[in-house]
């Protein structure tokens, strides 16, 4: 994706420079169709570069979460992303303020705007959950800390948590890291499989208070965002971006639970048939 880290840094600087340029569109989106088109091209042009840089930094940090230099790239990316979000906080509220008739007129004048028709339609759909510019800017500023729980879990689970060791029936000693577990959980010996499974997951149980406190922080963060965007639940907030009603989720759970007795009967029959 990048021949050298300097190329990644160059893209980050490009995004930072474009953020300042993008701010110039504030208050001008409804003036004419060309302004709206230019602003949309600028916004999504920045996003393409930012997502590429984010994919690179994320994958690089995942190679070994204990390498602090790679984690620093994620922090740098987060800072730029927060600045991007704060600067662009005017964007969707201002598009919402453009009368529907004028939006339709702009689309007739500039057929190129059809590229963004789904995005514009989605802004209208999310009107009840879009805040004022000042409120959007405040929420965007929390981007610096919004992902802390995920980062803490990743560094702990993939880098700093002690990995238990077990001895398999063939005499081989195995250190059960997340990567190793995937390979040995399907060994042929049934007792080994049971031992691998119980040892690996019990090692997480040794840190259940720490992991639980981190999870509570994530749940609270999700609820604060949902509440401030006028959603009734965090579930509704999580699904609405994909235009999914909560009933899609709850119906799935209900139907799975409803079918469990049939599944359990199948396993009982199989157990009896195989002795």
Whether the predicted pLDDT of 255 surpasses 80: yes
User: 129-143, 191-205, 233-247: lowest mean pLDDT where?
Assistant: 129-143
Q: Go through 36-61 and write b for each residue having 16 or more CB atoms within 10 A of its CB, e for each that does not.
A: bbbbbebbeebeeebeebbebbeebb
Dist CA 185 CA 187 (whole Å): 6
Dist CA 130 CA 116 (whole Å): 18
Cβ atoms of 169 and 189 within 8 Å: the answer is yes
Tens of pLDDT, residue by residue over 2-39, are 999 999 999 999 999 999 899 999 999 999 999 999 99
Q: What is the pLDDT of residue 145?
A: 81
Q: What is the pLDDT of residue 148?
A: 86
Whether the predicted pLDDT of 263 surpasses 80: yes
Pairs from 125-133 (Cβ < 8 Å, separation ≥ 24): 125/243, 126/92, 126/240, 127/96, 128/230, 129/229, 129/230, 129/231, 129/237, 129/240, 130/92, 130/93, 130/96, 130/229, 131/93, 131/228, 131/229, 132/93, 133/89, 133/90, 133/93, 133/94
Domains of the chain: which residue ranges? Answer: 5-146, 245-275
Q: What is the pLDDT of residue 3?
A: 93
Q: What is the pLDDT of residue 168?
A: 93
Q: How many residues does the chain have?
A: 275
Tens of pLDDT, residue by residue over 119-166, are 998 888 887 887 887 888 888 788 778 888 988 898 888 888 899 999
What's the CATH number of domain 5-146, 3.40.50.170, 1.20.140.70, 3.40.50.970, 3.40.30.10?
1.20.140.70
Tens of pLDDT, residue by residue over 78-121, are 899 989 988 998 898 899 888 888 999 999 999 999 999 999 98
Segments of the chain assigned E as strands: 165-167, 173-175
Dist CA 242 CA 262 (whole Å): 32
Tens of pLDDT, residue by residue over 174-185, are 999 888 898 899
pTM greater than 0.85: no
């Amino acid at each position: 994706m990048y021949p050298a880290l300097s190329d990644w840094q160059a893209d980050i600087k490009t995004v930072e420079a474009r953020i300042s340029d993008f701010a110039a569109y504030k208050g001008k989106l409804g003036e004419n169709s060309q302004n709206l088109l230019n602003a949309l091209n600028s916004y999504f042009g920045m996003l393409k570069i930012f997502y590429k840089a984010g994919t690179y930094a994320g994958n690089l940090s995942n190679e070994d979460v204990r390498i602090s230099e790679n984690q620093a790239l994620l922090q740098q990316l987060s800072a730029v992303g927060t600045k991007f979000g704060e600067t662009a906080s005017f964007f969707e509220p201002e598009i919402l303020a453009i009368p529907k008739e004028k939006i339709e007129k702009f689309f007739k004048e500039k057929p190129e705007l059809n590229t963004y028709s789904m995005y514009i339609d989605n802004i209208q759909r999310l009107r009840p959950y879009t805040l004022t510019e000042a409120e959007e800017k405040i929420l965007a500023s929390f981007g610096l800390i919004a992902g802390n729980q995920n980062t803490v879990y990743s560094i702990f689970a993939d880098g700093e948590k002690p990995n238990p060791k077990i001895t398999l029936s063939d005499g081989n000693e195995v250190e059960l890291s997340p990567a190793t577990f995937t390979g040995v959980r399907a060994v042929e010996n049934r007792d080994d499989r049971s031992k691998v499974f119980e040892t690996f997951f019990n090692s997480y149980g040794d840190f259940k208070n720490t992991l639980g406190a981190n999870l509570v922080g994530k749940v609270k963060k999700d609820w604060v965002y949902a509440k401030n965007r006028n959603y009734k639940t965090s579930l509704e907030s999580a699904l609405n971006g994909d235009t999914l009603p909560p009933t899609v989720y709850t119906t799935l759970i209900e139907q799975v639970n409803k079918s469990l007795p049939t599944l359990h009967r199948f396993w009982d029959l199989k157990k009896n048939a195989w002795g």
